[in-house]
Structure 1
Amino acid sequence: MTSETVTDAGTEQSVPAPIDLPPVGEEVNLDAYENYFNRELSQLQFNYRVLKQALDTTHPLINRLIFCCIFSSNMDEFFEIRVAGLRQQMKYGRETVGVDGMLPEQVLTEISRVAHEYIHEQYDILNNVLIPELEKENIHFVRRREWTPAQAEWVRNYFEEEILPVVSPIGLDPSHPFPRLVNKSLNFIVELDGKDAFGRETGMAIVPAPRSLPRLVRLPDEVCDGGDNLVFLSSMIHAHADELFPGMEVKGCYQFRLTRNADLELEDDLEDLASALRGELLSRRFGDGVRLEVADNCPEELVHFLLREFGLTERDLYQVHGPVNLTRLMAVGSLVDRPDLTYTSFSPSIPRQIRSKESMFDAMRKRPLLLLHPYENFSPVVDLLRQAAKDPQVLAIRQTLYRTGADSEIVEALADAARRGKEVTAVIELRARFSEAENLELASRLQEAGVIVVYGVVGYKTHAKMILIVRREEGRLRRYVHLGTGNYHAGNARLYTDYSFMTCDESIGDDVNKLFQQLTGMGKALKIKKLFHAPFTLHSRLISLIEREAAHGNKGRIIFKFNGLTEPQMIKALYRASQAGVKIDLVVRGICCLRPEVPGLSDNIRVRSVIGRFLEHTRVYYFGNNGRPEVYCSSADGMERNLLHRVETAFPVEDPALVARLREDLDTYLADNCQAWVLQPDGSYLQNQPGEGEERLASQLVLLERLTGKPS
């Protein structure tokens, strides 16, 4: 598959080339490579949509800068995991062809081409749009050539007091080989002339920037003429590099950064997962190199020297006009006090149903509760656990933890419950990517409090979000359940959109109890009444429900909202449903391998991606069911890993009022004409724009006003 460049709304975006469509009436081969987009290239396009938010003037200026930084962070992870995985396939001769038919070598070549375009555009946006606009707001990144004498003197003092005592320059000679540099660390390659105190004439040195120091420092007001004045750590090191090599001439000093393979590989037959993971975390910092970022003024001979040292080629080289780690520019938000340039704060609402209730148990017995974070407060979930910890009628609490944080209120509530003598079990997924160290600390803290900690099932990440509380009431046991689409992390609940479902439905409580039995014990899969659960029934049941809609023909209706769609069998089922006349809308935030609106294949499928202030994270499966809608919320995306290789749940929302509420939320996303990007048959994304005379409708702002009362 080749690619070409198309123009969308005045910007160039790399997309797969248009396909040759079959003649009308000819049967479509659902297995044909051209019916699928490549997973990695689709991920890159999502990152690009995030970058484009930096140009969207409906976002406040500092948040536009943060979107630019988020793009960098996303690209880091993309290289650390996805590019590293492709390189591993080639290194060990395990190349596999995806449903799109592309080999790893082809994908890597295309990734390099597209990523270079996107990163070049990122620096163009930073240098020619964001920095000039910040200057107009009196926020300055003060370059070395612009320092006043007073500022230069302050920088010299800062260098001598804060940087010099902790920096470790490394001269390169036979006794000082090239150092093993930490993944994504800021470093400098320095050209030297002259001999040192021992008579060595190396000509070259490496200076790792101290990781303990901030990459961006605010100059004191007394050495500035007003406004917010920021200086890069790299500028300070550049300015005083000669002090690191006394008596020698520094001919040049250039930034670079190496991105390494950061994926963890653990065997399936481990005896002690926690111990093995601790060992792997140490190696993550020093995996194989996958990308080299270098300042664009670095001499060619030094660039090629670095490439040779890291075993990389020009395809892996990114020469940038600016700092090599833009993620650190996120610090601007905390270094300057400019609330007028950031999103207006809001108070998440609490539904009337629980506002006047002292007991969460009383509220849940009255009717099930559905919360949409961050518009609605996450505190009821915390309150449920706090009350359970203190309630003498509560006998047991069980919970899955994926990304939570060792210092969270939820962890404190679980520890408190255990100290009060309740039976508390936590199923902790240690392998939550980039949260492994935090989860090891979390496990230790809970164990010290007396919580029974298990690590799920080796080979299947426990990604389901479940709380089960067993309470004695009037001589019988009643189960209270929380099920969610997102993590038990209060910080994420302010930034991610996720549903929380709280119920004491007996069948759901029994199902969740059986799932915990499977996770903590051993035995055959137990029969589940209402929930779908991976890796056992979720995939097959979703396919079955899609096929049921197909049987309704043009009366069928499907709306899915999730973060990614890659699983081939689900895509094929959606293609068949489309061919049967079912109207299908997919709200897919990130990766989408399905090709929509292709005549004879997917005429009735529309795909959109919503990008805005909050990270869209809800997973909802809506089936029209011939006028009797069935709706499921889930922890699972439409991806192989979720549906086949993880422990996941999809739970029904049956209360008619809540079903109507979910449909209203979905319709809001489908009506979005500002924040939605529509996937085209050729693979490009076009951002929706209001038609002439049409009112702007941004789904996140509509939900914010609807659920919090805050004007949009």
Structure 2
Amino acid sequence: MSNMDAPSIAARQAEPVSDSAEPLNPELFINRELSLLEFNQRVLEQAKDERLPLLERLKFLCISSSNLDEFFEIRVAGLQKVVELGQNQRGADGLSSIDLLRDISQRAHALVDEQYRVFNEVLVPALDEEHIRFLRRSSWTPQQDAWLRQFFHDELLPVLSPLGLDPAHPFPRILNKSLNFIVSLHGKDAFGRNSGFAIVQAPRALPRIIQVPNEIKGTGPHDFVFLSSVIHAYVDDLFPGMEATGCYQFRITRNSDLLVDVEEAEDLLEVLEGELSQRQWGDSVRLEVAHNCPDHLWQYLMQTVQLDPADVYQVNGPVNLNRLMALPDLVDRPDLKFQPFVPRVPRQLQREDIFSAVRDADVLLHHPFDSFVPVVEFLRQAARDPNVLAIKQTLYRTGTKSPIVDALMEAAKAGKEVTVVVELRARFDEADNIDLAEKLQDVGAHVVYGIVGYKTHAKMILVVRREEEGLRHYAHLGTGNYHPRTARLYTDYGLFTYNQKICKDVHNVFLQLTSLGKVNKMERLLQSPFTLFKGMVERIDREIEHVAAGHPGRIIAKMNSLVEPELIRKLYRASQAGVEIDLIVRGMCSLRPGIAGVSDRIRVRSVVGRFLEHHRVFHFENAGKPEVWISSADWMERNLYRRVEIATPILDDKLRQRLITHLQAYLADTAQSWHLQPDGGYHRADHVQDVAVQQRLLDGDLV
């Protein structure tokens, strides 16, 4: 949380915000990386919330740990590289890269300390009360010790390769985020030399938590032991004739961003395949080590992997809390988990022929509350319909064994013209996307990899069908990926439409992606990097004009991130002009709300709940003629300038009002909302009434 004094900001910034090219005072911007750490803190707070089921609270702890891993792999790694190259840049917030790395280290250390405090002092005792136990070595019964020793010899020892360190056995390459142990040894080795240190690497195939069978004396139905505890207990058996005087777990996080020169690549797929094999061996970014590891050992590790003390995190527990995500699946306790739900299928799509349903009226799906099955069925029917001539789709993330990909392959095998734009550079999904691209090509689909220098992030399907009137188009446009699993975990919208003007625009975007030709002027859609930013600015300006003409000005915008400086500038200008603005921003937000004379009509909230808030929705009141857009794009530089994105207007009056009702419900949430303060910190909403928007959507209150 920033230590900036909010009143001092207001005193210096009460004059109107200029629309000139001059940069705003950095104090009007919250640093995006620090804002992302704040979001991770909000996720961690869910692990403390006693209103949530216990095993779900454990999952939130794991998500906080996983988020922090990616933060170091990408964002911290990028900043370290900038400093290493001597490019000490300053962002819109005024922080230099060196200053920012210092602040990140301080806040990240505090966050990690809090993660382990929550684990050890909050969740472990609560789990113990529910007879779900992590057995410490000091408490093992003789029977448990015997079973675990046998488990070590049968299941672990054959796959462990201890590496004694000497000039012929240099420090090994450590895989990104892998579990390792540094072992101090006493005694002579097999060749009569004094022993020193050794490294033990735990293969990823090994389970990080081991369930002790219930029939072992003294064991309960849900008793577990950490893999690290088992290796620590019997590590002597890996070094015959020597004594292990210390065994300490550690983990190294590495730079995981792919460095691909897309301008020089003749075949992007081949280049990415080559780079992926090196991702696990990037530069070291962070060292996590057991809290009781002696100073000389962690300092040796730190120096060996070329890190500084600020990059070392000493932890009191397993070095990878995310591995605890496996626990809820091992414990059959429905009372400690969220109640299962069955997604709805809109009545309009319950008829057999999806095409006739969409022809009658636009259909809006709201995932995960509405089922994702109609999207899959739309493609399956298109694949089997003899009147369908062509299918075009963008794919960013689909997951493995995807029914979406299966339907596209079925269509291609049936002789239909199938064109798929696969974004090979979807971070951490590159390998899966290379695999699906090759599968689609093998069955005759046309596969392209988007535009060099611009990730294709738009979510679009276009079906060309022969009907009595001639060739007609059907489209699906969404805010989220075509991924059945995340459609049950993320909130997203998807629109089925027969509107031929929208469909023509979609056709033109696909034409651009495949032919690289210029697109004629769009009739309905906004597209980045061409018209989306300009379209949003024009609509903000229009609200300012309406206020000047005596009409109420109103903007409600929901997104994952808001960091683009020019849009922030416009929102400040709109606030000063009298426009009321509510922003629902899940993660990064660089705008400072509530500053007198600058942003006192802007309110920002973040909703963190059972489902990951993922949809992007933009509502402009427009003097009583409201516009609502759904989009694949956040208000970030990368989305607006360096990606192919789409924003789609909701033209049906009922569907538009439904979306406005949803946005208003988010603003009324008092259970899962956090309010951004002028100083960059967040305060949790008063939840006396306990109104949770996600639960209302699950209950069907807002259909």
TM-score, normalization: structure 2? 0.97
Name the structure 1 match of 2:523.
Answer: 529
Match of 2:565 among 568, 571, 574: 568
Match of 2:144 among 121, 139, 151: 151
Contact 2:398 2:482 in 1 (8 A): yes
Match of 2:318 among 323, 326, 329: 323
Name the structure 1 match of 2:299.
Answer: 304
Q: Which runs of 5+ in 1 are unaligned?
A: 5-14
Name the structure 2 match of 1:22.
Answer: 11
Measured in 1, the distance between the counterparts of 2:312 and 2:374 equals: 49
Segment of structure 1 superposing worse, 473-482 or 128-137? 473-482
Measured in 2, the distance between the counterparts of 1:576 and 1:382 equals: 44
Match of 2:630 among 625, 630, 633: 633
Contact 2:255 2:285 in 1 (8 A): yes
Name the structure 1 match of 2:108.
Answer: 115
* Secondary structure in structure 2 of the residue aligned to 1:412: helix
Match of 1:403 among 397, 403, 417: 397
Measured in 2, the distance between the counterparts of 1:480 and 1:127 equals: 54
Name the structure 2 match of 1:555.
Answer: 552
Letter in 1 for 2:591: L
Displacement after TM superposition at 1:521 (Å): 1.1
* Secondary structure in structure 2 of the residue aligned to 1:262: coil
CA change 1:26–1:231 in 2 (3 A) is same
Displacement after TM superposition at 1:27 (Å): 3.9
Contact 1:567 1:639 in 2 (8 A): yes
Segment of structure 1 superposing worse, 492-501 or 266-275? 266-275
Q: Map Cα deviations across residues 637-688 of structure 1 (whole Å, 9 max, x no partner).
A: 0100001100000000010000100000000000001100000111110110
Q: Does residue 348 of the first structure (1) align with residue 343 of the second (2)?
A: yes
Q: Does residue 514 of the first structure (1) align with residue 504 of the second (2)?
A: no
Name the structure 1 match of 2:184.
Answer: 191
* Secondary structure in structure 1 of the residue aligned to 2:181: strand
Displacement after TM superposition at 1:382 (Å): 0.5
CA change 1:300–1:24 in 2 (3 A) is closer
Q: Does residue 175 of the first structure (1) align with residue 168 of the second (2)?
A: yes
Q: Map Cα deviations across residues 597-630 of structure 1 (whole Å, 9 max, x no partner).
A: 1011101000000000000001001000000001
* Secondary structure in structure 1 of the residue aligned to 2:314: strand
Displacement after TM superposition at 1:406 (Å): 3.7
Q: Does residue 164 of the first structure (1) align with residue 157 of the second (2)?
A: yes
Displacement after TM superposition at 1:379 (Å): 0.6
Measured in 2, the distance between the counterparts of 1:516 and 1:19 equals: 50
Measured in 2, the distance between the counterparts of 1:18 and 1:590 equals: 25
1:118-267 superposed matches below 5 A: 118-223=111-216, 224-267=218-261
Displacement after TM superposition at 1:26 (Å): 3.4
Name the structure 2 match of 1:278.
Answer: 273
Displacement after TM superposition at 1:268 (Å): 2.6
CA change 1:17–1:160 in 2 (3 A) is farther
Contact 2:262 2:268 in 1 (8 A): no
Match of 1:362 among 347, 356, 364: 356
Displacement after TM superposition at 1:529 (Å): 1.0
CA change 1:587–1:153 in 2 (3 A) is same
Name the structure 2 match of 1:619.
Answer: 616
* Secondary structure in structure 2 of the residue aligned to 1:145: helix
* Secondary structure in structure 2 of the residue aligned to 1:250: strand
Measured in 2, the distance between the counterparts of 1:421 and 1:406 equals: 24
Displacement after TM superposition at 1:28 (Å): 4.6
Match of 1:479 among 449, 460, 473: 473
Q: Which runs of 5+ in 2 are unaligned?
A: none
Measured in 2, the distance between the counterparts of 1:648 and 1:535 equals: 7
Q: Map Cα deviations across residues 547-579 of structure 1 (whole Å, 9 max, x no partner).
A: 111111261110000000000111111111111
Displacement after TM superposition at 1:200 (Å): 3.4
Measured in 1, the distance between the counterparts of 2:157 and 2:447 equals: 45
CA change 1:526–1:201 in 2 (3 A) is farther
Name the structure 2 match of 1:674.
Answer: 671
Measured in 2, the distance between the counterparts of 1:16 and 1:511 equals: 48
Displacement after TM superposition at 1:475 (Å): 5.0
Q: Does residue 685 of the first structure (1) align with residue 674 of the second (2)?
A: no
Q: Map Cα deviations across residues 206-234 of structure 1 (whole Å, 9 max, x no partner).
A: 00012111101111111144330011111
Q: Map Cα deviations across residues 270-309 of structure 1 (whole Å, 9 max, x no partner).
A: 1111111111111110100110000000000001001100
Q: Map Cα deviations across residues 11-37 of structure 1 (whole Å, 9 max, x no partner).
A: xxxx88775322686345661110000
Letter in 2 for 1:578: S
Q: Does residue 336 of the first structure (1) align with residue 328 of the second (2)?
A: no
Measured in 2, the distance between the counterparts of 1:200 and 1:455 equals: 57
CA change 1:17–1:220 in 2 (3 A) is farther
Name the structure 2 match of 1:8.
Answer: none
Segment of structure 1 superposing worse, 546-555 or 376-385? 546-555
Q: Map Cα deviations across residues 301-338 of structure 1 (whole Å, 9 max, x no partner).
A: 00100110011111001001100000000011111111
* Secondary structure in structure 1 of the residue aligned to 2:438: helix
Measured in 2, the distance between the counterparts of 1:16 and 1:61 equals: 38
Aligned-pair identity (%)? 56
Contact 2:529 2:645 in 1 (8 A): yes
Q: Map Cα deviations across residues 368-395 of structure 1 (whole Å, 9 max, x no partner).
A: 0001000010111011000000000000
Letter in 2 for 1:367: A
1:32-181 superposed matches below 5 A: 32-181=25-174
Measured in 1, the distance between the counterparts of 2:240 and 2:415 equals: 65
Letter in 2 for 1:402: Y
Displacement after TM superposition at 1:246 (Å): 0.3
1:367-446 superposed matches below 5 A: 367-446=361-440
Measured in 2, the distance between the counterparts of 1:16 and 1:201 equals: 59
Measured in 1, the distance between the counterparts of 2:56 and 2:379 equals: 34
TM-score, normalization: structure 1? 0.96
Moved over 6 A (4+): 15-18
Letter in 2 for 1:460: Y
Contact 2:558 2:617 in 1 (8 A): yes
Paired residue total: 694
Contact 1:677 1:687 in 2 (8 A): yes
Contact 1:405 1:442 in 2 (8 A): no
Measured in 1, the distance between the counterparts of 2:683 and 2:531 equals: 36
Contact 2:696 2:702 in 1 (8 A): no
CA change 1:576–1:478 in 2 (3 A) is same
CA change 1:475–1:673 in 2 (3 A) is closer
CA RMSD of aligned residues (A): 1.4
Measured in 2, the distance between the counterparts of 1:409 and 1:441 equals: 15
Contact 1:376 1:708 in 2 (8 A): no
